[in-house]
Amino acid sequence: MTMLSSHALHDALGILGTVCFALMLAPQVYLNCSTRSTEGLSLPLIVLWHVSSLLAAAYYAVSDDSDTYGILSMMALAFFCGIVEAQFLSFRRKSQESRGVGFTMGAGILCLTALSALSYVALIQVMKPLADVVLFAVGDILPSVLLCVSFFPQIYEFVHRWSIKGYSFGVTFFDVCGCTANTVLIAGKPGLSFGDKIAHAAPFVSIIIMHCVLIVLAIAICSSGRGGATQVDLAESDAKP
């Protein structure tokens, strides 16, 4: 009975993590569509998430303790990163007609999805013959570093504009929930040493920490009373006597 409960908890956490990663960019996609703009959102943030998710997914696929839920989580993240990247391309000019925007977005999503799939397969082939130390560096350490670095462009957007407008904190909610589920899943995984557990959980813990930084900064911006203002709003306000 205990073993069955353990398996049920493992599956529940794995499904929760996968679903959260699949949904995490949905609020951002909705916000971008409703405003027909990606202003306020950092493109480097999304691109680095995309690259790191593909690296991590390939690593999970070739490592000795292959993690199905980890692969699904990272590939879902890569897919939705492609959607947001297509929105950056589609909404680059506000004067575009709706039909043109829809065509550009659809073509962009299709191309980026295909590119992600091909990149995933190629990375698996590249990683397979690598020595364990090199594989660990490329598939675990590098994505962790990229995930940490990726938040700095968004932090810059917040500080430079002194506004959180354009970024959906629904992303933060789902991302933190998914990362927490995956971290707990890894912590309770049998057969892994303590060091291996820390290494596997590092990308997820890194994301949680950086989201906390975004939240603290957002609170500071909102506390100033100008958190929803755009640069144009602030410039007009400062120009008034």
Measured CA to CA, the distance from residue 107 to residue 83 in angstroms comes to 10
Q: Using alpha carbons only, how large is the chain's radius of gyration in Å? A: 19
Q: What pLDDT score does 226 carry?
A: 62
DSSP secondary structure code for residue 38 in this structure: -
Q: Kindly indicate the confidence band of residue 207, based on its pLDDT and cuts at 50, 70 and 90.
A: confident
Give Cα separations from 76 to 25, 69, 80, 117, 120 (angstroms). 10, 10, 6, 11, 12
Per-residue pLDDT, averaged over 19-47, amounts to 92
Burial 23-46 (b: 16+ CB within 10 A, else e): bbbebbbebbeeeebbebbbeebb
Measured CA to CA, the distance from residue 164 to residue 154 in angstroms comes to 10
Burial 126-144 (b: 16+ CB within 10 A, else e): ebeeeeeeebbebbbebbb
Give 164-202 as a DSSP string: -TT--HHHHHHHHHHHHHHHHHHHT-TT--HHHHHHHHH
Per-residue pLDDT, averaged over 139-150, amounts to 89
Q: Which has the higher per-residue pLDDT, 2 or 170? A: 170
Q: Which of 22-26, 116-120, 235-239 holds the top average pLDDT?
A: 116-120
Asked if 77 contacts 21 with a C-beta cutoff of 8 angstroms, the reply is yes
Instruction: Report pLDDT digits (tens) over 181-200.
Output: 888 888 887 777 888 888 77
Q: Which has the higher per-residue pLDDT, 68 or 219? A: 219
Q: Which two tokens stand for residue 85?
A: 């990247």
Instruction: Report pLDDT digits (tens) over 59-110.
Output: 989 987 677 877 888 888 899 999 999 999 888 755 455 556 777 788 889 9
